[in-house]
Structure formats: C-alpha cells, structure tokens
Amino acid sequence: MFKPSPLVSAVGAILVLAACGGSTPTGGGLGTGDLLVGVIAPFTGADAGLGPAYYAACLAAAPSINSNGGVGGRNVKCEQFDTRGEPADAVPAANKMVASNSNLMAVVGCTSDEAATVAPIIDRAHIPMFCMTGQSEFNKTTLKYFHRLVPADVYDAFAMVGSALFGPGHDPYKKAALVFGDDIGSQAFVAPATNAFTHLGGTIAINQPIHLGASSYRTEVAAMLKTKPDVILTEALGSAGTYLKEVKTQNGGKMIPFIGSSATIDPTWFQQVRDAIGIDDLLKYYAGVDLGYTFSGPAYSEFLTNLNAAASTFKDAPKYKQRGSTLHLYDGIIMTALAMVATNSADPKVYNSKIIDIANGTSSATVVNTYKDGVAALKAGKSIRFVGAGGENNFDQYNNSQSGYILVGYDKDGNEVTVGHLTPDQTSKLIAAGG
C-alpha cells in the first residue's frame, strides 16, 4: 500500500481514486463544464496516510491540464471520497461518488483495503480507474476500466526478500520476522514473502500480524524478540514508529535491521520512524525497495513545479515528491485527459481503451512527456506515447503495468537513495521461489 495525514476538507481540484461513475455524454465531442477526478481512498482510520498521497497527485495534474487549454476547454477538478480503509464504508462512498457526479472523468486511489468492493462499482459505471491495490485477484482481472500502474504486492514481497538475501552491505539474512498490519492490504505480502524466503534457504522466525493504530506493542515485540530474527520485513503504515521504538527499548537500545515495502518510501513513515528510533538508527538499519524512478526529466520537472505550487491548497503536497503512487496517479490523470482529446469524446466507453494506446505507444509513436506536448502532437495528426513522471508504462492484456525494482535507503532529509539493484537472475529466482 502506498499514507499521510487526513485531509477531507481541502479545496481545489480533486481526483477520485477508485470508484466513480454517473451519467456521461455519449457520442463525439468533449462537452462543457468542469471535469472531476475522484480520489477514493482512506483519509481517516488506520490507513489515513494513503489518501493525501493520491490527492497530491491530482493537485499536481490538474494545473498541467488546465493551464494548457483544459480538455477541450474543460477544467479538471479534484474531490476526495473517504473509504476509511474499510470495505463496508467504501461502498457508500463509491456509490455517492458515482451517483452524484455526471462529469466524472477518472477515479484514482482504491487501495487494497477497499478495491475488491469499489472497483466493480466503478467498472459498472464505465469510469476509468487507476487503483493502488496490490491484491493478486487483480492480476488477471476482467474489469475493463481497471488500470494498475504499479506491480502487484507479490512483487514487492519478492523484492523485500531479495533485499534480505542479496542486498549490499550485509551478509544474507537467514531468519526473518514478518511484521505486517492485520489489514487486507498488508497481509497480501505475507504468503509470497514466506514462499520466496523459505524456498531460497531462509527461515520465518515469526509471522506476526499487528493491529494498526495500537498505542503499544509491548507484548508483540517481546514475542518477536524471543524468536531471535536477524531481520524484520515490514510495512505497518502508521504504526511502524511505535513498533520499532518498542523493539529498540526491549532489545537493550539496539535495533534489528528492518526492510520495508515500497510504501515505506513515504514522508510520514520516515518522520514517524525517525522520531521513534532516531535518525542514525533509521539510516543504519533501514532498507527498502522501490520501482527505479529517476526523479528527473521534463515530466518530473513539471510534476514537481505543480506539486510545490499545490502547497497553497494542501501544505503537505511537496512532501510527496518521491512518492511512487503520487507520480503514477499523476501520469494516469494526464493520460486520461490525452485519451479524451485523442478520441474527441467525453464518453469513457470511447476513450477508456485509448488510455492503453497512449501508455504503451507503437513503434511509430511520438514520445511526449507533458500534457501540452501531447495535445500538440495529437493536433498535428501524430500518434503518441506518454512517458510521464513515473516513467514508462507497459500494460499487459489485464491492464497491469510491470517494472523492475531497486534497493534503496534514506538520507538524513528523507530523500530516497539507491543502494543497489536486483539483477534479472536474482529476480527470476525470487519469482520462481515465490510462485
């Protein structure tokens, strides 16, 4: 899962992330009036850190579109829909989003907490969605309006195991504690990590689901330490600081190395863990995995400029400059707007399939990195491939885009630092072992 503080009342452009619908114009023409991106995600509850990262993506994408003519003159705005990270709460949020917004162009968000319940609602409404769910049930989904710009959680799990076994700067870790939240999304890492780690010679010291948001993990940490692991694989969004501080306290002031998923490359996660165990121990004992972003180039430069400017609406927006989910959802919104221009249609049943064409491109396609350049190329009669702030996309027949992993750490300011890569041979071994 990709979590900052709740922001349910923010104003300005809003993207809806997971499920949207409503009646939309049919036939040709781009119509009139503002367009809406729905951001459907947790803004309150244990996973409240997820929603703001996705909201920031919309706040950055909207001005890229609006300052360059909009979508046929129509401006893009963003709106939050809070799922609270609970499937039961997500359904009315998704239904409300779909029923009350006839101008919904796309939805972003829909995390593993609620994707299973909201994605079908959005799909039935024929609204393109860009979901940040890693659940395996979407690996071969039949939902035509579902798009996933990041690998499934199973690959994050493999990468974490790869960091433990092949990562630089340490001997292979052989005895791992799995400390993940007891929520749906977090538990998706457990089985693939267990399979890959044990099949490659490691031992699971303890599999310990923890309840996110608890005030203390004294009992849980005591039980974990008794198993004497040499590494902790974790995510525990919102609770990692509390848990790891208890580890340091009960372990005589010394940390155990811990490896986090790509969701731990997050400003809130960094701050909570830094404040809990100290910056020196965070830098020394933490390792993470990510998707190999460059954080450079024309697409990223425009994204960063808009993200910084969005601080006037959402003061924490600039913190998400290296958040993978924020980059990808920004790209998803831009690609949707370009698909509408390319098809000259505000009907999602018409422009939805064009999103994949623009993402994957063809051998003769013109590569574009911004909405402005994409519109110019389309008006010149060219086919395009959009390579955005998150890099290239390569969608398969199930609308899933895959990419490779890097091994990372933090610097003292919370910026991501690349420390290594998983080789193709290592990646193949991990997939074979975890399958």
Domain ranges of the chain: 35-151+296-357, 153-290+405-434
Contacts with 183 (C-beta within 8 Å, 6 or more apart), sequence order = 46, 47, 85, 112, 113, 212
Instruction: Report how far residue 320's alpha carbon sits from residue 54's, in angstroms, rounded to the nearest whole number.
Output: 9
- How high is the pLDDT of residue 378? 98
Structure confidence at residue 185 (pLDDT) = 83
Q: What is the DSSP letter of 44?
A: S
**How do strand 416-421 and strand 406-410 relate by DSSP bridges?**
antiparallel
Distance in angstroms (rounded) separating the CA atoms of residues 265 and 259: 11
Residue 271: φ, ψ to 5°: -65, -45
Calculate the alpha carbon distances from 237 to 49, 185, 206, 222, 274 in Å. 8, 11, 19, 20, 14
Q: Is the pTM of the predicted complex or chain greater than 0.85? A: no
Looking at every residue in the chain, the average pLDDT score rounds to 91
pLDDT at 20: 36
Decide: 113 and 85 in contact? Cβ < 8 Å.
yes
Q: What is the pLDDT of residue 1?
A: 41
Q: Which fold has domain 153-290+405-434?
A: Rossmann fold (3.40.50)
**Burial class of 362 by CB neighbour count within 10 A (0 to 12, 13 to 18, 19+):** exposed
pLDDT at 402: 73
Q: Show the tokens assigned to 208.
A: 């310990």
Query: Is there a shared CATH topology between the 35-151+296-357 domain and the 153-290+405-434 domain?
Result: yes
Q: What is the pLDDT of residue 264?
A: 94
Q: How far apart are CA 16 and CA 251, in angstroms?
A: 44
Series of mean pLDDT values for 10-residue runs along the chain (435 residues): 36 36 53 97 92 97 98 97 95 94 94 95 98 90 95 90 95 97 90 95 97 96 98 94 98 98 93 98 97 93 98 96 96 98 97 97 95 98 97 91 87 95 84 81
Q: What is the pLDDT of residue 5?
A: 36
Helices and strands counted in the chain (H then E): 15, 14
Q: What CATH class is the domain 35-151+296-357?
A: alpha beta
